[in-house]
Structure 1
Amino acid sequence: MKIKYFIMIFFCLLFIFACTERKIYLPEAQPEKEGQIPKKEEKVEDEKYSQKEEFSATQMSELIRKIQDEIKDIHFDFDKYEIRQEDIPTLKKVASLLQKYKNLKVIIEGHCDERGTNEYNFALGQKRANSAKQYLITLGVLPSKIEIISYGEEKPLCTEHNESCWQKNRRAHFVFIEEGK
């Protein structure tokens, strides 16, 4: 009788652990290092664009263009949507910018390579964009400042049929816009 209960509990636990979703890497409390979000008392990188100051349309357009050029895509491994260690500095920079500029918002686009069905790649692109969003939220960004969209395999950067090209297409791309637009 005890063996039956033990076996039932074992299989229940096995089922629970086998059915859990993949976890997104969450940042651990670490000492400040180069490339992390600056402390509030540190000097602001670009004093011309103070968070309290209202922007003219030209200034906002210039700021968005500058940020768009500075922030690069983050990339994912094949068939994965977990944030990679080498992409954490980019996400921290995005979080810093969204916290610094109150009128700034980001759209995170999830992209995939051409392998897999359209439906599968659309869902994977959504998971990739959502992973980036959740990471930004853990860094203190308000969810209302982040939108996500999946393009699946529909907007490739590279159209060759090889691994180096596919790696470029497995990405999350950040599009910055003025909030309220």
Structure 2
Amino acid sequence: MMNKLVLTAVIGAAMLTGCASKRLPVDGNSYAPGAGETPVVENTLASLQADLAASAGSDRVLFGYDSFTLTQEARQTLVRQAEWLRRHPDVAFSIEGHCDERGTRDYNLALGDRRARAAAALLAAEGISPMRIRTISYGKERPEALGSDETSYAANRRAVSIVIGNNGG
């Protein structure tokens, strides 16, 4: 009987907290809807992600074979991402490092980590707080393009910036 009561309380608490939605301010505006005022637009993580990709031209940068050196094109994309991130100071994000299927699992996890950290370092150099940046490597475990050809390999050698939530709370 006591176990059922505890279980019911836990499920009820989970339902109450799990259904809350976060409202993120848009461009620093946090107005409550009112006459003549701009209403708060509820942003989902997906809409923020899409806005990042559109504003920066991409949410990902590509790398050469067996490399974590940022190309000029990658640097330009990351600078535009930094501009977007400065306009959204409450957004926390993660940079995922990925590799193609060649190489061992351990080698590719290390290379993916170096790719993610290279992208994070450029964003930090552009003024984005390292406290907002999380990095993770997936190595070759999450390919974007399936196939064992150069086109697939090139698409899989990447670092992807992912909006993961509201950094402010």
Q: Please indicate, yes or no, whether the TM-score normalized by the shorter chain is above 0.5.
A: yes
Give % identity. 32
- Structure 2 letter corresponding to 1:110: G
Give the structure 1 partner of residue 19 of structure 2.
none
CA distance in 2, matches of 1:62, 1:73: 15
Structure 1 residue 123: Cα displacement: 0.3
Structure 1 residue 159: Cα displacement: 1.4
CA distance in 2, matches of 1:128, 1:88: 12
Alignment coverage as a number of residue pairs: 133
Structure 1 residue 59: Cα displacement: 3.0
Q: Of residues 74, 78, 101 in structure 1, which corresponds to 2:61?
A: 74
Q: Of residues 151, 165, 169 in structure 2, which corresponds to 1:178?
A: 165
Provide, for residues 41-94 of structure 1, a one-character-per-residue CA deviation record: whole Å limited to 9, x for no partner: xxxxxxx9322x238572354741432542331000000001100112210111
CA distance in 2, matches of 1:160, 1:79: 18
Give the structure 1 partner of residue 85 of structure 2.
98
Q: Is the 8 A contact 1:60 1:178 kept in 2?
A: no
Say if 2:148 is the partner of 1:161.
yes
CA distance in 2, matches of 1:50, 1:58: 12
The aligned runs of 1:4-153 (5 Å cut-off) are 49-51=26-28, 53-54=29-30, 58-61=42-45, 63-70=47-54, 71-153=58-140
- Structure 2 letter corresponding to 1:98: L
Q: What is the TM-score when the length of structure 2 is the normalising length?
A: 0.71
User: Secondary structure in 2 aligned to 1:59?
Assistant: coil
CA distance in 2, matches of 1:155, 1:147: 18
- RMSD value over aligned CA atoms? 2.1
Provide, for residues 88-119 of structure 1, a one-character-per-residue CA deviation record: whole Å limited to 9, x for no partner: 22101111111111211220000000000000
Worse overlay, 68-77 or 121-130:
68-77
